[in-house]
Chains A and B, each alone.
Chain A
Amino acid sequence: MIGFLIENMAPLMFASMVLFLLVGYPVAFALAACGVTFGLIGIATGVIPAALFGALPDRIWGVMSNDTMLALPFFTFMGLILERSGMAEELLETIGQLFGPVRGGLAFAVIFVGAMLAATTGVVAASVISMGLISLPIMLRYGYNKQLASGVIAASGTLAQIIPPSLVLIVLADQLGRPVGDMYRAAFVPGMVLTGLYMLYVAAIAMFKPAWAPAIPLEARIFREANGRSGIVSLLVLSALAGLATWAFATSSWPLHLIVALSKGSVTEVALDALIVLSLCAWMVAAFCVAGLHRLLGLHLLSRMSEQFTFVLVPPLGLIFLVLGTIFLGIATPTEGGAMGATAALVMALLRKRLNLGLLKQAMTSTARLTSFAVFILVGSRVFSLVFYGVNGHLWVEHLLGGLPGGQIGFLIVVNLLVFALAFFLDYFELAFIIIPLLAPVAEKLGIDLIWFGVLLAINMQTSFMHPPFGFALFFLRSVAPSTVRTIDIYWGAVPFVLIQMIMVGLVIVFPQLVSVGISDNKKVDVDQVQIDIPMGEQSAPDDTLQRELHGDAQSAPREVPASADPLADEIQRQLMQESGK
């Protein structure tokens, strides 16, 4: 009996974890308790050294002094303030007005605004609720198919999960021991591609099922000229002029000079993501200057539509520059970018007279609560993995998943199916904290680049918001959708987008360079290369993993906690290493 227990400690511990979690007690404590229980059993049976628990305070300390997770409250806070600032509503109304008269235009507007909001915040609920309240009624009024309308809203809302700055990428970066900034860079282009796929789908619908996505009549517009014309021409001219200026800027040597000046570093080439962000900003500045001068001088050359369009795009593009721009250009860390973004959101809400004490308190309370439960799951999972590694659980998982037929591809397919299936029941915090630490070492050992792996999983985990019936995006949409939209419509509406998501996962696996486009900075090698010939032994020896585990976040935290803080930890580490060497 004891022999069986000792032999199969890791699988037993894993099975107990599943059992402990399914009971329905908060994940954080169930995980920690599972770790403690098996720690005690392990000590009693002599499988792990008695001093193991001495490393516990050190692990908690590692979570506390972890710069990565610090970005979590900042981006949460920023999102919560922004969702009340009225920015989303303005964007939806204006862009909806602009695109509406085209077939499928309202759906395009929703996707466009969804991507825009996603690039400013990482909160899914806010986008879905705003769109559900503002765009859904308009779409229904003009005869949009209910499934298409609700599906496009739910899916566009979840873009916040993949387009940086997203919360799930922070958590994944922490779990994979990679810098958040690299994760953001890597996810940027795939996020854009995914947005493009959504638009392609809507375009196909508009072409082949025009009745599902009708154009709204011109009379329904608010921003019209006195003579009844739409003013589109003037907008096109303005955009073209600004676009020309942007093109001139982007192809000149100015972006490079700017980056060198801003980051005070020696940069020799401009990365694509940085160029996109800079060009967006150049476009904004150019259009804003023209529209601003126009208003100041009281000219009547521009239409109301083009003025409105320009002014409404300024705040989100400004925020995108402040947060993503500074991160991509290497001026700020994600933590700093998040704090600056949150401060800017506060200022913006103040200027728009939307911020009051009650709202501020509510946003702070929600932020504190989310931070607390998320970081406690992390603490729980660290306690669990401390013991799980102690009983050589990582070797067991490696054996289980590393020996799959097909090597890398076999592993990726199995992992993606697993995550896809689990996403029906678990949300992304649970997935990231429970599943990823088990998978990451195996992926690394198979020579898979962890940044790429993280982005791939983030795209897959996005489906956890869209899976009927528990998907959060569907749930939020249900809570604001009119009763004429049946729940089953919302469920079916999500299905095509879940399929698009799977196509995207496939695309990233087949074309790994999609992810590498963003990381052309000097410090990153071509992902293609990394994919194939990362030296097997480099980071993946179990002892190394163990060491990293024991030291908390040596890799992800820029300033490591002094190792001397706990001599006991060193001692245990030594013992554990001997243990795992056996």
Chain B
Amino acid sequence: MKVLLGLARRIDALNDIVARISIWLVLIVTLETAASSIVLKVLDVGSNAFLEIRWYLFSAIFLLGAGHALQKNAHVRIDVLASRFSRRTQAVIDILGTLFFLLPVCVLVIWLSWGVFADSFSSGEVSSSAGGLLLWPARVLVPAGFGLLLLQGLAEMIKRVAFLAGCGPDPLGVDKQMSAEEELANAIRRQREANGEAAQ
């Protein structure tokens, strides 16, 4: 179990690093899109490459972020029934779900998309629009993203098995991070206190 939990920690760390880097793509794609559209409107200069790089970055954001989102339990669930179950039942559901839902889908997608990527890579496939980019860097994102997702699925499963076996914490309870909404509320409160003090 210890070995497995060590593996889970490594996977967590891997997806953490990937997420920490890939979030910057949000800023990059925002500035790139804003800049290139202003240049296009004002100077009438543009290229399909500018358009294509946008969705390359967009794809990277959602595909590479999927594993991390799974780790943070951010993928939306319908919890009308599930929220009434005990923690242990929820853990069992997650283990079965990972085994029968998540992993097969990941394996299938990786297997199918790897071939597409390999073909694209070896043939040097280029997008059909004028000034288009090489396609394989986008194609490789699919197996990469689903690979990270698969690994995180394994890690989540290990954590839940450990929890059920009594040698690990509750994986849904460990994350005591503030939600974005709580942070916003705190920020506004702080700001108002600061303003209030300044006024007095």
A360 with B27, Cβ < 8 A, contacts A24-B77, A25-B93, A60-B109 known: yes
User: Are B61 and A368 neighbours in the complex by a CB distance under 8 Å?
Assistant: yes
Cβ-closest chain B residue relative to A25: B97
Contacting B76 at CB < 8 Å: which of A332, A383, A430, A564?
A430
> CB of B116 within 8 A of chain A?
yes
Q: Which chain A residue shows the least CB distance to B102?
A: A29
Scan B95-126; emit 1 where CB is below 8 A from any A CB, else 0.
00100111011001100110110000000010
Q: Is the CB of A57 within 8 A of B192?
A: no
| B48 partner residues in chain A, CB cutoff 8 A | 559
- Please indicate the chain A residues that have their CB under 8 angstroms from the CB of B80 in the complex: 22, 425, 470
Q: Which residue of chain A has the shortest Cβ distance to B179 in the bound complex? A: A479
Q: Which of B27, B54, B82, B183 contacts A70 (CB 8 A)?
A: B54
B residues in contact with A494, CB < 8 Å = none
Contact, CB under 8 Å: B128 / A57: no
Q: Evaluate contact between B41 and A566: CB separation under 8 angstroms.
A: no
Is A67's beta carbon under 8 Å from chain B? yes
Query: Which chain B positions have C-beta within 8 A of A20?
Result: 101
Given contacts A57-B113, A60-B142, A70-B58, is CB(A336)–CB(B75) below 8 Å?
A: no
A66-B104 in contact given A365-B19, A373-B76 (Cβ < 8 Å): no
Q: Which residues of A contact B78 (CB under 8 A)?
A: 21-22, 24, 27, 425-426, 430
Residue of B30, B135, B181 near A479 (CB, 8 A) is B181
The secondary-structure label for the interface of chain A is helix
Distance between Cα atoms of A74 and B31 in the complex (Å): 10
**Chief secondary structure at chain B's binding surface:** helix
A340 and B97 contact, Cβ closer than 8 Å, known pairs A70-B58, A133-B189? no
How far is it, in angstroms, between the C-alpha of A70 and the C-alpha of B34 when the chains are bound?
13
Q: Which residues of A contact B45 (CB under 8 A)?
A: none
Cα A425 to Cα B77 in complex, Å, equals 11
The size class of the interface chain A forms with chain B is 35 or more
Residue B165 interfacial (CB < 8 Å): no
Say yes or no: is A362 at the interface (Cβ < 8 Å to chain B): yes
Give CA–CA (A117, B41) in the complex, Å: 27
Q: Any chain B CB within 8 A of the CB of A331?
A: yes
With a cutoff of 8 Å between Cβ atoms, the chain B residues found around residue A22 in the complex are 78, 80-82
Q: Given the known A-B contacts A22-B81, A36-B104, A369-B65, are A84 and B34 also in contact in the complex, defined by CB atoms under 8 Å? A: no
Nearest CB of A to B189, in Å? 7
Check A53–B112 contact: CB distance below 8 A: yes
Interface residues of A in 367-413 (CB under 8 A from B): 367-369, 371-377, 383
Q: How far is the CB of B58 from chain A (nearest CB, A)?
A: 5
Q: For A479, list chain B residues within 8 Å (CB).
A: 181-182, 185
A83 close to B (CB within 8 Å)? yes
Identify which of A6-14, A124-132, A212-220, A290-298 touches chain B: A124-132
The one of B22, B33, B183, B189 in contact with A74, judged by C-beta atoms closer than 8 angstroms, is B33
Q: Mark A81-99, 1 if CB is under 8 A from B, else 0.
A: 0011010010000000000
B77's partner among A27, A33, A57, A470 (CB-CB below 8 A) is: A27
Q: Mark B45-83, 1 if CB is under 8 A from A, else 0.
A: 000100100110011011101101110101111111111
Show 27 A/B contacts (Cβ-Cβ < 8 Å), sorted by A: A22-B82, A23-B82, A24-B79, A24-B81, A24-B83, A24-B90, A25-B97, A27-B75, A53-B108, A64-B58, A70-B55, A73-B61, A84-B184, A86-B191, A89-B192, A125-B184, A129-B185, A129-B188, A339-B34, A365-B19, A368-B61, A371-B58, A373-B69, A373-B74, A373-B75, A376-B62, A479-B181
Beyond known contacts A73-B26, A368-B22: 9 more, CB 8 A cutoff: A23-B93, A26-B76, A29-B105, A65-B55, A346-B30, A367-B23, A368-B23, A373-B66, A559-B129
Nearest 4 A/B pairs, CB to CB: A24-B82, A25-B97, A339-B33, A26-B75
Q: Which residues of A contact B (CB under 8 A)?
A: 20-30, 32-33, 36, 53-54, 56-57, 60-61, 64-67, 69-70, 73-74, 77, 80, 83-84, 86, 89, 125-126, 129-130, 133-134, 331-332, 335-336, 338-340, 342-343, 346, 360-362, 364-369, 371-377, 383, 425-427, 429-430, 470, 476, 479-480, 559, 562, 564-566
